[in-house]
Every structure is written in structure tokens, then in C-alpha cells.
Amino acid sequence: MHLGSLDIAVVAIYAVLLLVLAQWVSREKPGHEKVASDYFLAGRSLPWWAIGASLIAANISAEQIIGMSGSAFVMGIAIGVYEWTAAIALLIVAKWLLPVFLKHKIFTMPQFLEERYDHRVRNVMAVFWLGIYVFVNLTSILWLGSLAVNTVTGVDITTGLLALGAFAAAYSLYGGLKAVALTDIIQVALLVLGGILIAIISLNEVSGGEGVIAGFAMLVERTPERFDLIFSSDSPHYMSLPGISVLVGGMWVMHLSYWGFNQYIIQRALAAKSTREAQKGILFASALKMITPVIIVLPGIAAAVLAPDLEAPDRAYPTVMNLLPPGVLGLVFAALIAAIVSSLASMMNSISTIFTMDLYRHLRRADTSGKHLVTVGRLVSLTAIVVAMIVARPLLGNFAEAFQYIQEFTGFFTPGVCALFLLGFFWPRTTSNGALATALGSAAYSIVFKLAWPELPFIDRVGIAFLLCIATGILVSLAQKPEAHPYAIEYRTVDTSTTAGFNIGAAVILVLLGALYATWW
């Protein structure tokens, strides 16, 4: 597939518009100098629409679009459980978790851990997150993004990788989180519009020009096995999505860790004008999560009908892109680029925030003025993307499926991260050593289960490791004398109330999710 001149023009217009807009929204008032809260938390002034859009733009990238569509080609709509249950997890974060962070007015997740436990926990988790973000997340976004660009346009993978990194740096380096978040509304609009167009055109193609509804009906009729939301134990896909466990097991541990305790994601909500504004933004993101499978999963299922003999499932989305007319192809390709560069920019900003605020500021106290910290943050962002561009091919080039690389590394630590925060929230007796044991035990338990019980589905392994991490934190804490933690949370004092609008929106999302599973159980 190659882009025509009209498609190239559409992509070029998008790129120029994004760069100009990013610089415009990043400007400061005359006489005001950008300080740490401006650069890392957008001056704590983000409106709800920017928060919601930025959460989705940071989340959806090449591995999401290409990988999930490829999984839909094989498994069908069941893969949408990651999106639909994430919508519920976001509501949980908005009501019961986020108010704690906003009450403490924190910059980063490690900072919260220092206030709740001690500096050792902060340092361990800061170094852990930096390693994961640079050598797993940032590199995987770059690599999978460059593979997607190569598949669609034929551009050399290395060239695409360098171009994506340079583009992300160009529009985000100066303005920080503000530049990323306030331009993400365009990124998400482009994602949704491009996704809807490709879903409409692919379904129309399935029906032979009879329309979208006829195309969907034909998909259900011709591939009924792809419209099962819950797999039985004899399904070949059970190891990936183990039956009812996707609704009651380790999936929730992964969701809470990702959406609630992950700097890369939660940083947008920390930058809100107020708790109410943050909650509205997260509700907006939850609503967008409900429609994400429509624009990602349906094209993958359509590809199973239109091109059943694909050599690789991950070619499903690029294959249906071939159906698009000139101009529209450029728009959808721009949407794909938008997903990639937004995720890159968000990850760069989170890396610079953690390094600057949790490590550098404590190691070098001589000059920690706002201007100096912003300069350090920019240098760290640039360094991170350069390092990721250098190591992406050596780290990921030999993996048949790069998504496995992400799961293997982050999945070992997810149970411990979730347990560490939940103990800190809800059990004041948790000690600093208990917290460290919880965090470090996660990898040990996960590795033992992976080696000793290889037939255990990944999601179930996460759930069991989480329970063991909770038990470890409790036992180690009880084995010590109680510690004085002045910032231990009295959860009864946390305002977890929500507005009537939030409650109605949450109820609608819950009803829709229930209807989905009632229809295709």
C-alpha cells in the first residue's frame, strides 16, 4: 500500500496544524516564566475535555490499533473486554482513588509513595518506572509504530522510527503536558473519525454495497464464533481470555494498576482544575472506551471475511485500510500517526516528570528553581526518546510479537504495584518494609508461577500474584512494630462524592456493558 499525493497532503496538513497548535497553546502570558507545575502538570488548569481526550490519546497507540484489530481477526469481539472493562475501571478510579491524589496535591506516583511510606519506596519505584517507561513502553510504541508506518506506506522501518520520534519531540518538548493534553482533543477526534470511516467502509464492503447494518448482520451470520464474549475452557483462545476470569479476576488488577497508579496515565487527572473537573474528564474517557471496539475491533472481524487468508493477523487493519479512497486513506493514516505520536509525547513527559521531581530534585538540592527543573525536564525528555530510538530494534527486532515483550515485563510487576497502592490507601498499618516486600515480591511470584505452572492463563496468574502480594505486605507489616506515618490516609476523611451528572453517566455505561454481555454471552 502506498499513499497518493492527496493522502500525503492530508498527512502534511495534519502535521503542520499539530505543530502550530502545540506551540500556540504552550505560550505563556507576558512576564510569566514557565515553572515546574506549568511544564509537568499544565499549571493544574486542564479542563475536563482535555483530560478525557488526553487519557484516550495516551492509551491508544499502534499496538492498540494494529494489535487489537489483529486479535479481533482471530478471536472476535471478546478482545473488546479490555476496553469495556477499562471503562468501568475508570469510573472506580474517578470516584474512589483519584480524590486521594488530588487531596495530597502530588506531582507523581513515587512522590505519593514517599509521603505514605518513605524515600526508599519512592526511589525503588521511581527507578522501576523509568526503566519500564524507557526500555519497554517508549521503545515498543516506537517500534510498533514504525512497523505500522512501514506496512501502510512502505517507508523503511528505521526511517519511520526516527521520524516518529522527532515529530513527537518537536511538538511536545517545549510545552510539556500542556502542549500534549490540549492538542489531544484533535488527536482523539481524528482517531474516532478515522476509525468510524474505516468501520463503515469495511462493513459496507462485507455487505457488497448494501450498507453498514447489512454488513454487520452478515458478519454475525458468517462468523458467529467471533461474537462470543466469554470463552469456554475448551476454546483455543482460553489462555488469552480465560472465561469468566476476564470479568472477576486479574483483569481488574491490571486495569487499576494501569489507569489508577500509572504516572503515564494519571498525570492528566493530576493536572485538573479541580476534583470535579477531573471526574468529568475521566467519565468522558470512560464513554470513549465504550466505543473504541467499534473503531478497532469491527475492522479486524471484517478482515476475517474480506481477507481470510492473511499471512499474519496484525495485517488485518492495514488490509482494510486498502479499501479506503484517496484522501480518506490519508485521513485514517493521519489518525494512526496521531495515536502513535500522542502516546510517545505522553510517555516522554511522564519520564521527565518522574526523573526530575522524584530523583534529580532530591539528589541536587543546590539549584531546584522552577526554570532549572523545566530545563532538566526537557533534556530528560529528549534523552529518553533518543535512547528509545537507539535500542528499539535491538530489544524488539527479534520478537515475533512485540506485544509479548510488553506483557512479559510489565505483567510481572503489575500485581505488586496495585497491591502497594491499595494497602497504602486502605490499611494505615502498612509499614515501609511491608511496602517494599510487596513491590519486590510481585516479580518473584510471577516468575515462579510462569515456570512452575505454564498452563495457567496470564490473567489468572496476575490475580493470584496480587493476592500473594497483599498477604506479603500484611505479614511483613504485622511482624514489625507499628510505624508513625503522618501521611497515612484516613480514608473516611476523603471526599468521594460525585455529581448527579457523573452518577447518571456512570449508570448509562454500566447498563450498556450489561446489555453487551447479555446479548453475546
- Write the CA distances from 196 to 72, 84, 296, integer angstroms: 16, 18, 9
Q: Show the 3-state SS of 485-509.
A: CCCCCCHHHCCCCCCHHHHHHHHHH
Q: Which of 354-368, 430-444, 456-470 has the lowest mean pLDDT?
A: 354-368
| Cross-strand partners of 46 | 272
Of 182, 132, 183, nearest to 384 (Cα)? 132
Q: Is the pLDDT of residue 86 over 80?
A: yes
pLDDT digits (tens, 9 = 90+) for 120-165: 999 999 999 999 999 988 998 898 888 888 877 888 999 999 999 9
* Cα 148 to Cα 167: distance, rounded to the nearest angstrom: 16
Quick: pLDDT tens for 360-398: 988 876 666 778 899 999 999 999 999 999 999 888 776
What are the residue boundaries of the structural domains of the chain, listed by start?
Answer: 5-397
Q: What's the pLDDT score for residue 402?
A: 55
- At 454 the three-state DSSP class reads coil
**Which residues on adjacent β-strands are paired with residue 272?**
46
Phi, psi at 227, each rounded to 5°: -120, 30
pLDDT for the residue 408: 64
Quote the mean pLDDT of the chain: 91
State how far the Cα of 378 lies from the Cα of 174, in Å rounded to an integer. 7
| CATH for the stretch 5-397 | 1.20.1730.10
For the entire predicted model, the pTM comes to 0.94
